Structure 1
Amino acid sequence: MIKNKLVSRGIDYIMQHLNEDITIEDVACYCHFSKYYFSRVFKEETGESIYAFIKRLKMEQSALRLKIEKDRTITDIGIVFGYSPSNYSSVFKKHHNVSPAEFRKRINTTCIPHPFYQNKSAGFKSFEEYDRKIKIQELDDFFVIYERHIGNYIELGRNWFNFLEKYKDLINEDTLMIERSYDDPSITSIEQCLYDICITVDKNCSLDNVTMIQGGKFAACRFKGSIKDIFYSYQGLFNIWLPNSGYEMDERYGLDIYRSVDCENMHVVMDICIPIK
């Protein structure tokens, strides 16, 4: 868990300005520290230098764009993240061990292996089957208590249990459990996935770890099933539905809103919400 609030604030700044030429000085200044002190604290908390973190996120978020924006040129996507055409291809290949063009060709639109469960894979459904489950919704802003984690999604259940136990006195019948996910685990190393776990609270809550999740227009897909199959629903939506839907994902990040959780049978009902414009 990211316990240092200023490091978490720095990560927010990086995520919000990923398509800009961010420097270590920019992030440190935003958090009101010298770059030397903040660089040390950031690496202690995340295991990565600020520079390495920014570069990795640019490569992984641009790969996601290659995946979901199939009609957009590789050159355009590279430019969005601050790279010239030749430099983008070189840096991308060094990070992913494959060129952007080959990465895009390899994107599988029929099935995908599960990154958390070895020897498990599943096929995708048709666009029409996904589309029937999608509802375009305007969501209000959410005020939440949150904890930020970098690590394997396989630890999500334990992290949720500890989180809910810690804040049980603030939970009532109207409380929503929300995950905010930033990475695609088919692209990002499973040990480096960034995510927030949250519960809704009154906007006047006085705790330090309260933030606002921006609402707006979302494509919401209701998922009912085993927790281990959430990954496949996500991949189907991003590999099949989104590239063919006529919608574009905007600069916000995805949300999972839990509607019910059956811990004993590892079964959930949740809305997978993709921010669109």
Structure 2
Amino acid sequence: MITNELVTQSIDYIVQHLDEGISIEDVADYCHLSKYYFSRVFKAETGESMYAFIKRLRMEQSAFRLKVEKDKSITGIGYDYGYSPSNYSSVFKKHNNISPVQFRNGKYAECVTNPFYQDKLVKFQSFEEYGKQIHIQQMNDFVVIYERHIGNYIELKKKWRDFIEKYKEHLKEDTLLIERSYADPSVASIDQCLYDICITVDKNCSFDNVTTIQGGKFAVYRFDGQVQDIFPAFQGLFNVWLANSCYEMDKRYGLDIYRTINWKSMQVVMDLCIPIKAHERK
């Protein structure tokens, strides 16, 4: 868990400005610290240098866009993250062991391997089947207590149990359990996934680790099944529905909102929420 508030704030800044050519100096200035001092603090807290972290997130985010923004050129996506065509291809291949062209062509298959259960092949539904189960909704902001983690999603059950125990006095009948995901495990290392676990609270809550998750327009898919099948559902939504729909994701990140959880069987009902732009893609 990331406990340093300045590091948490710096990660918020980084994920919101990945496509704006940010530097280590920019992040340190944002936190009002010298880049040398803050670089040490950042690595001590995350286990990764700030330079490596920014580079990795750029590669992960650009890879995600390659598979869902079919009408955007590979060159254009590379430019968005400050790379020339040849440099982007070289850096991408070094990071992913595959070229951007090969990656994009391979991500529109009918199935993918589940990185958490490598013996399971994930087969997608059709665009029409996903579309029948998706509703476009306008959501209000969520005020939440949160913890930020870098790790494997497999660890979520224990993280949630500990988190709920820590804040059990703040649980009410209408409390929502929310995950905010910054990483797609089909393109990120499964041991380096960045995510928040949150519970909704009153806006007057005075804890230091309280933040507001921005609401807005979301494509919402109701999932009812085993936790191990959440990954296949999300991948189908991204690879099939979003990639072929008239919608685009915006700079907000995806949310999982739990409706019911059976901790013993790990059967859940949850809303998988994809943030989309207010206007449709042309």
Within a 5 Å distance, the mapping from 1:204-219 to structure 2 comes to: 204-219=204-219
Q: Is the 8 A contact 2:67 2:108 kept in 1?
A: no
4+ long deviations beyond 4 Å: none
Q: CA deviation at 1:13?
A: 0.6
Q: Higher mean Cα deviation, 103-112 or 149-158? A: 103-112
- Secondary structure in 1 aligned to 2:187? coil
Q: Which residue of 1 aligns with 2:71?
A: 71
Q: CA deviation at 1:183?
A: 0.7
Q: CA deviation at 1:118?
A: 2.7
Partner amino acid for 1:165?
A: E
CA distance in 1, matches of 2:75, 2:89: 9
CA distance in 2, matches of 1:118, 1:241: 24
CA distance in 2, matches of 1:232, 1:200: 27
Q: Is the 8 A contact 2:108 2:240 kept in 1?
A: no
User: Once superposed, what is the RMSD of the aligned Cα atoms?
Assistant: 0.8
Q: Is the 8 A contact 2:24 2:51 kept in 1?
A: yes
Q: Which residue of 2 aligns with 1:142?
A: 142
Q: How many pairs were matched up? A: 277
Q: Which residue of 2 aligns with 1:26?
A: 26
Q: Deviations over 1:148-192 (max 9, x none)?
A: 000000000100000000000001001000000011101100000
Matching of residue 112 in structure 1 with residue 145 in structure 2: no
Partner amino acid for 1:197?
A: I
CA distance in 1, matches of 2:179, 2:23: 29
Scaled by the length of structure 1, the TM-score of the pair is 0.98
Within a 5 Å distance, the mapping from 1:58-207 to structure 2 comes to: 58-207=58-207
Q: Higher mean Cα deviation, 27-36 or 267-276? A: 27-36
CA distance in 2, matches of 1:186, 1:122: 11
In structure 1, runs of 5+ residues without a counterpart are none
Q: Which residue of 2 aligns with 1:17?
A: 17
Scaled by the length of structure 2, the TM-score of the pair is 0.97
Q: CA deviation at 1:109?
A: 2.5
Q: Which residue of 1 aligns with 2:229?
A: 229
Partner amino acid for 1:57?
A: L
Q: Which residue of 1 aligns with 2:265?
A: 265
Q: Which residue of 1 aligns with 2:46?
A: 46
Q: Is the 8 A contact 1:256 1:270 kept in 2?
A: yes
CA distance in 2, matches of 1:111, 1:76: 27
Q: Is the 8 A contact 1:109 1:240 kept in 2?
A: no
Q: Deviations over 1:74-125 (max 9, x none)?
A: 0111111111212111111111111111111111431111111131122111
CA distance in 2, matches of 1:193, 1:182: 7
CA distance in 2, matches of 1:32, 1:43: 17
Q: CA deviation at 1:133?
A: 0.4
Question: Alignment identity in percent?
Answer: 69
Q: CA deviation at 1:71?
A: 1.5
